[in-house]
Amino acid sequence: MKSPYIMAPMAGITNRPFRLIVKQFGAAMVTSEMVSAMGLMVGQTRTLDYLRSAPEERPFCVQLFGSDPDVMARAAEKVIESGADVIDINMGCPARKVVKTGSGGALLLDWRKAERIVRAVRLVSPLPLTVKIRAGWSPTHGKTLELASALENSGADAVTVHPRFVTQGFSGIPDWRLIEQIKSRVSVPVIGNGDVFSPHLAIKMREETGCDGVMVARGALGNPWIFQQALDLDQGRIPSDPAPLERKHLIMKHYHLLSDEMGERRAAFHFRGLLLRYTKGLPHSGLFRRSIEQVKDLQSLVGTMDGYFSSMEADGP
Ligand SMILES: Cc1cc2nc3c(=O)[nH]c(=O)nc-3n(C[C@H](O)[C@H](O)[C@H](O)COP(=O)(O)O)c2cc1C
């Protein structure tokens, strides 16, 4: 693997435009939003749409969620047909609507079923198969150390570990030591995940845990540069933040990709969200963010953005 830094699956976020952007900055692999195995089975158009990818995204991983081994295997066949490169199985999603169907994080309550799912998908799929787990369901249910080994024995080619319990959601601090413990227990590659919000933390996770790859989710929101910055650090270069003009151009590129994907009207609807994400933490961004609250149409939003970035250019570094 050239780069060990991987873009995480994020429902509602890791659509094709987003994936193309992070790929541009060196993400080793990009992952779809989580895709319902049942939705694929019954041929829901919207669900099938999640499988579409562009050649520039490759290697492209599709993440499946589901609770029935047969349905997961049939869905995997559809993923293979679609031309994806890797299949990932979601065993960590804490969302109620997912958990109540026995999928996602609920599989950490039923290890036998989790193993059966991996075996069923392994049987039909020659593609690399990865599994994304959490630390466990809850502290009282014990940790997924042994599950990781069991999933390896069932046919998983790599394990991604987000070391929070499902019941924690996103609260608390992920216990990176679990990534290290799982790494020392399994022989397949282990990908660490959780609270990597800067390139320095990406390096720190690799050093502290010995993980083979680092998966970044929220840290790439508004900062797709994080992948390049981590690679820079690896190569002894001091990572730099993008200049205001570069940031502005990226926002417009992201907007145009969205527009190609979903049409101008819907893309315009997302533009304010893009601006909020890409300006978080920048100088005077509070003022800028408040000023765009009132602005309704795309043209005025672009104008306000131009003004903001020009003033930053004028202020200098
Ligand atoms: C908005 C959002 C959507 C997410 N969607 C998914 C998903 O579809 N599948 C999945 O396995 N994890 C999903 N996650 C979890 C992330 O992939 C990742 O495990 C978690 O955010 C921890 O990594 P981070 O600290 O780098 O954000 C999502 C997280 C967020 C914030």
Q: In what order do the strands lie in the sheet with 30-36?
A: 5-7, 213-216, 190-193, 158-165, 129-136, 86-91, 60-65, 30-36
Q: Is residue 28 within 6 Å of ligand 1 at its C-beta? A: no
Q: How confident is the model at residue 317 (pLDDT cuts 50, 70, 90)?
A: low
**Predicted confidence (pLDDT) per residue in 58-74, tens digit:** 999 999 999 999 999 99
Residue of 51, 91, 93, 205 marked catalytic: 93
CA 5 to CA 213: how far, in whole Å?
Answer: 6
Q: Is residue 29 within 6 Å of ligand 1 at its C-beta? A: no
pLDDT at 296: 81
- How much is the pTM? 0.96
Strand-pair partners of 54: none
Q: How confident is the model at residue 316 (pLDDT cuts 50, 70, 90)?
A: low
Token output for 129: 């198969």
The region of weakest confidence among 50-59, 192-201, 296-305 is: 296-305
pLDDT at 167: 97
pLDDT at 189 over 50: yes
Strand-pair partners of 4: none
pLDDT at 107 over 50: yes
**Predicted confidence (pLDDT) per residue in 118-158, tens digit:** 999 999 999 999 999 999 999 999 899 999 999 999 999 99
Q: Which residue has the tokens 């961004």?
A: 285
**Predicted confidence (pLDDT) per residue in 14-46, tens digit:** 999 999 999 999 999 999 999 999 999 998 998
Mutation probe of ligand 1 site: the residue of 89, 90, 218 with most atoms within 8 A of C-beta: 218
Q: 214 C-alpha to center of ligand 1: Å? A: 13
pLDDT at 175 over 80: yes
**Predicted confidence (pLDDT) per residue in 197-228, tens digit:** 999 999 999 999 999 999 999 999 999 999 99
pLDDT at 1: 46
Asked if 172 contacts 199 with a C-beta cutoff of 8 angstroms, the reply is no
Q: Is residue 213 within 6 Å of ligand 1 at its C-beta? A: no
Asked if 253 contacts 21 with a C-beta cutoff of 8 angstroms, the reply is yes
Q: Is residue 194 within 6 Å of ligand 1 at its C-beta? A: yes
pLDDT at 72: 98
Alpha-carbon dihedral angle through residues 79, 20, 226, 30, given to the nearest 10 degrees: 10
For ligand 1, atom 30, name the residue with the nearest CA.
10
Token output for 213: 């790859």
- The single-letter code of the amino acid at 156 is A
- The single-letter code of the amino acid at 118 is V
CA 207 to CA 196: how far, in whole Å?
Answer: 13
Q: Between the CA of residue 207 and those of 179, 192, 195, 259, what are the distances in Å? A: 11, 11, 15, 40
List Cβ neighbours of 46 (8 Å cut-off, separation of 6 or more).
39
Q: What is the mean pLDDT of residues 98-104?
A: 98
Active site residue 211: no
12: left (phi over 0), alpha (psi -120 to 50) or beta: left
CA 17 to CA 259: how far, in whole Å?
Answer: 9
